[in-house]
């Protein structure tokens, strides 16, 4: 993948300053967007503009992709004048610019050299507040719709809040999430940030790869998860829908007959790695717009699930949207914006979901949602 095509190197700084720089950008309200893909962290900085498709006006550098939950209604592709890259070794951050002087105009290297160390201490305080009764009521409505034959699956979310402490910063939060979940993919877009374990789609040449997740257990529950009729049913529905959605784009889909375990740190998921050869003319954006949001975060059938979720969960916002990056030649990676949160008015606002199917019980689904809140709050709340 050639994310840096057309950019020029403007300098570099020690990688240990990256998260402090992110905090400085946030405090100064300098626009930025971050995604971790292909083994590196990419940080676009400055006034963004829309990426324009087409050979003649192909932008320099990568296009940063994002959307809200309703992907087709909110999909954005942005390019930035400055792109920072922390590679696999994480020893230095390289600073690239789309035109001479862009990094200097934003003061990137000066800011990086001036940043203070990330403040230590718990970033969250007090108790987490989750209105479990309201979440349970939505689960009950989903169960009723399934019993009536309207749906076979609906992903219901819960909302929670927890107070942030004086030590909270966006850079500090991202640093802690990366330390806690080194194999997950950091992201930040328009105030929403997190560490996603789920690959929506990756394109390299004409090869398309996906790693959808559905079915969840706490670490230690691997055997039970592999034998859970409820989780296997939830996962199968997602894979079937994805397979149908991919047919117009992929010649043949290669995937295992049975799901495998995916280690996401505190949680273990069922996963079905999928690969296929893209038909001529298919792009990463085309595929993402066709398949997202998948049944991992919406429901089956999708159209009716969207209709119900628009009414029941208008608060989703960026949660379960997509975040990703593509190079000027159309290759790239896209992840699901989950295991995330947004800070506002002294609180961290969290959203997490669980897939409701015929065999679901309210208590078990509430416990799954709480476990997904824990992924974020334990990482940020540790002293």
Active site residues: 153, 198
Please give the DSSP secondary-structure letter assigned to residue 191: T
Question: What's the CA gap between 105 and 46, in Å, rounded?
Answer: 9
Can you name the residues that pair with 340 across neighbouring β-strands? 194
What does the block give as tokens for 5? 């095509």
Question: What's the CA gap between 383 and 378, in Å, rounded?
Answer: 10
Q: Is 178 left (phi over 0), alpha (psi -120 to 50) or beta?
A: alpha
Q: Name the residue among 30, 29, 58 with its Cα closest to residue 44.
A: 30
Backbone angles phi, psi at 13, to 5 degrees: -150, 170
CB 282 within 8 A of CB 249: yes
Please give the DSSP secondary-structure letter assigned to residue 152: S
Q: Is 348 left (phi over 0), alpha (psi -120 to 50) or beta?
A: beta
How many C-beta neighbours within 10 Å does residue 254 have? 11
Question: What's the CA gap between 282 and 279, in Å, rounded?
Answer: 6
Half-sphere exposure of 291 (CA within 13 A, CB side): 33
Please give the DSSP secondary-structure letter assigned to residue 17: G
CB 333 within 8 A of CB 86: no
CB 98 within 8 A of CB 61: yes
């Amino acid at each position: 993948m050639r994310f840096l095509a057309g950019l020029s190197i403007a300098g570099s700084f020690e990688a240990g300053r990256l998260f402090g720089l992110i905090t400085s950008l946030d405090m100064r309200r300098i626009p930025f967007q971050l995604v971790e893909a292909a083994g590196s962290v990419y940080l676009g900085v400055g006034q963004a503009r829309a990426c324009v498709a087409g050979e003649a006006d192909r932008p320099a550098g990568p296009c940063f992709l994002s959307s809200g939950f309703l992907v087709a209604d909110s999909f954005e592709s942005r390019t930035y004048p400055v792109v920072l890259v922390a590679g696999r070794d994480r020893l230095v951050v390289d600073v690239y610019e789309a035109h001479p002087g862009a990094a200097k105009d934003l003061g990137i290297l000066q800011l990086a050299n001036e940043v203070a160390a990330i403040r230590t201490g718990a970033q969250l305080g007090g108790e987490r507040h989750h209105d479990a009764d309201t979440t349970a009521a939505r689960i009950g409505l989903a169960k009723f719709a399934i019993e009536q034959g309207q749906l076979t699956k609906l992903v219901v979310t819960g909302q929670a809040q927890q107070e942030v402490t004086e030590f909270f910063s966006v850079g500090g939060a991202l640093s802690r999430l990366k330390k806690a979940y080194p194999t997950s993919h950091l992201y930040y877009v328009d105030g929403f940030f997190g560490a996603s374990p789920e690959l929506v789609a990756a394109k390299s040449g004409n090869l398309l790869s996906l790693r959808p997740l559905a079915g969840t257990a706490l670490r230690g529950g691997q055997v039970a998860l592999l034998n859970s009729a409820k989780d296997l049913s939830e996962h199968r529905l997602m894979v079937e829908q994805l397979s149908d959605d991919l047919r117009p784009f992929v010649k043949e889909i290669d995937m295992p007959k049975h799901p495998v375990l995916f280690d996401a740190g505190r949680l273990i998921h069922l996963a079905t790695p999928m690969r296929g050869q893209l038909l001529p003319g298919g792009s990463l954006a085309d595929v993402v717009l066709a398949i997202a949001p998948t049944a991992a975060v919406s429901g089956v059938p999708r159209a009716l699930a969207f209709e119900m979720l628009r009414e029941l969960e208008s608060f989703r916002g960026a949660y379960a949207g997509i975040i990703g990056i593509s190079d000027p030649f159309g290759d790239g990676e896209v992840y699901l914006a989950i295991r995330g949160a947004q800070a506002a008015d002294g609180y961290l606002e969290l959203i997490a979901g669980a897939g409701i199917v015929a065999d679901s019980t309210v208590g078990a689904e509430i416990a799954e949602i709480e476990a997904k809140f824990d992924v974020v709050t334990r990482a940020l709340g540790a002293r």
